[in-house]
Chains A and B, each alone.
Chain A
Amino acid sequence: MAAVDSTTSDLEIMKRVASYDSLALEALYNRYSTILYTLIKTIVSDQKFAEDILSDVFVIIWRKINHFDFEKGNVYTWLITLARNKAVDTIRMKKSGVETQPYSDEYEDKFILPLLKSNGKAVELRDALNKTVNMQKAMEDLTDAQQYVIHLAYFEGLTEGEIASKLNIPVSTVKSKIRIALTNLKENLSRGYSI
């Protein structure tokens, strides 16, 4: 089996993880743990919590690798979305104080595993990191309100209803703001590159 090195693509690593190659999983960890941990820690704001979630994410990857769509091969988006879903689910459970729905395989498949069903272009970590500056610029070009709505939704894990309560505005307004913010972000990004 070929070695995992700097030229090995994310997709190739995922394929090897799918064959339960432990070194491939380690390579995936080495490659992605920083950005996943950064994201999770931002959402949960606690180091130990974030570490637990990150380790859970890699267990999910190991157990549910067959849910990844190798035909589309969008490794970066799948992993980021998986980590975010897990982190947000954890803090929502913690906030509510009760387990409204038992955490099961079915629950995990339904609410934690990413639902990437459309025609997005496959993105790898190196692509994402190369576009950091564009992303910063695109975010900066949004209004403060749009940035804040994205922040509340994506990084604080609030639902539309919770955002509406927090900002004291109707849910319909929140929906509208989210749609406009994402649309504008996409337009801002398209000025420099396309994803």
Chain B
Amino acid sequence: MITRQEAADLIYANVLGCLDRGDQTKLTEYINAGGELPSNMGELQNIASMLPVILHAENPDSRLKDKVARKLYRIKDEIRAKVNTGSINPAEVFYKNSRENRKAGSTQDDKVLTTTEPEKIIVEENPEAPSENESNILPGEQEKEAVNEGSREDIPEENTAKDFEPVTPLRNTFESFKSTREKVLEGNFKDGGEEETQEETRLEVKTPTRDKIKPYERVITKEKPSYTASANKTPYRSTSTKERGKSFERAYKSKYMTEESTNKKQGMKPWLVISLFIILLLALTVLYLNFSSEIDNLKFNNDSLKQQVNDLSVKFNSTQEIQNILESADVNVINLGGTGINPVGKGKLIISESQNKGYLQLSEMPELGQNKAYQLWMQLPDGKYFSLGVFNPSGRVQYFPFKIPQSEGSNITEFLVTEEPGEGSANPGNKVFLTGSLQ
């Protein structure tokens, strides 16, 4: 047995309900043995029980009341035994609740408790519905049966099973509180009172295993909750308190609850994590391949466009140059003709002596082998040849620029285009493709 001081030490934790079973047992034994308790224990218990009022109120599901009723029905025998052995006589209560009042319509209690729109409920099946042979006469009936067996004829047989009605269907009774606070709650807990209407609904209860038993019926009233789903919660607690609560939770959780969050993470199933990881990996791979292919295509298109731009740029510059040369006053245009090697070959030279440059245009020229190129020559009056450049026609660019030595501009007499090695030659070779001369 603990001492008075030890009991006093346990009181605070007991009030908040955080004693472990061992300490709880010790304290209970102490109290049951008549041990002296601190005078403020009752007050502290009341204070602790006030804590729930600061929570955000939430109504239970409307069907829960039926569930409670079913649970109570299951213990009917136990209650019946208590009633029989106790000093109380609930027969009249049950008789009134289950039979007389219902026969006469709504009771006074019903008038008080009934709320707004009644709602019809049909219970499809009730496995617990008593059968004919079952001892299903409940305390009220039992009492009546004991008192006046002859009055059974007043009670229809089909009503035997329905007499036990631990609770009648839904009715909210918070209308009983008229404080300011409850006016706030009125939307949720309103009991319609005089404004409410009642409607008789029939509740059918079928016994699935006994087809011959006629489903019994009873007349009930049921309210339809007057609150909406969105209004289901009513703040007991002010916003500031709520925020404060969250604040202290955050502060302490961040400080003390790292372990808890770790445990929660550890609680995830490994196969789920692995599956998610694999799915993520596959998704990323598919995305990568798609993007990679798309990027390659875009790169290729980009290169093509760049090439086109370059070609156009070169062509534009050449055209511009040619235009400049053609616009100069001393421009000479020399036609080159094919030789026996390539009779259909043609060429044209556009030369400006003042600018010391010119352009060679080639057409109908055969493709040369590897490491071969065309080389343009000019012949000077002394019979020597001077190379003006090596060219490789690709088929796209038709004009090739070249420069004329400044001192030789007016001495040129003849031009040749020969086939030479790719890097060019110091003197013209034997294969002459085009020839032409200044007029």
Contacts and interface: CB of A to CB of B under 8 A. Distances in A.
Contacts, number: 304
A173 interface: no
B418 interface: no
Contacts of A118: 37-42, 45
Contact of B24 (A8, A27, A111, A136): A111
A170 interface: no
Contacts of A126: 176-177, 179, 182
Most buried by B among A121, A131, A195: A195
A117 B31 contact: yes
Contacts of A163: 18
A55 to B, nearest CB: 5
A150 interface: yes
Contact of A3 (B40, B97, B109, B251): B109
Contacts of B178: 6
Interface stretch (B63-71, B194-202, B329-337, B349-357): B63-71
A63 B78 contact: yes
B-side interface size class: 35 or more
Contacts of B411: none
B93 A26 contact: no
B89 to A, nearest CB: 8
Contacts of A31: 173-174, 176
A120 B42 contact: yes
Nearest to B55: A38
Contacts of A101: 21
Nearest to B65: A29
Given A39-B52, A101-B21, A118-B45, A153 B173 contact: no
Nearest to A129: B181
Contacts of B55: 38-39, 42
A4 to B, nearest CB: 6
A114 to B, nearest CB: 8
Interface in B215-250: 236-238, 240-241, 244-245, 247-249
Interface residues of A, number: 98
B71 A182 contact: no
Contacts of B40: 118, 186
Contacts of A154: 16-18, 48, 51
A153 B244 CA distance: 18
Contact of B257 (A80, A84, A166): A166
23 contacts: A4-B113, A5-B176, A21-B93, A22-B164, A26-B166, A55-B67, A77-B46, A110-B28, A111-B24, A115-B31, A123-B49, A129-B53, A129-B185, A130-B181, A132-B236, A135-B53, A135-B54, A150-B16, A151-B248, A167-B252, A178-B18, A182-B44, A186-B43
Given A6-B177, A19-B89, 20 more contacts: A20-B79, A34-B189, A35-B57, A59-B75, A115-B27, A116-B45, A117-B31, A119-B39, A120-B46, A123-B49, A128-B53, A129-B179, A133-B181, A135-B50, A160-B23, A166-B260, A182-B15, A182-B47, A186-B43, A195-B50
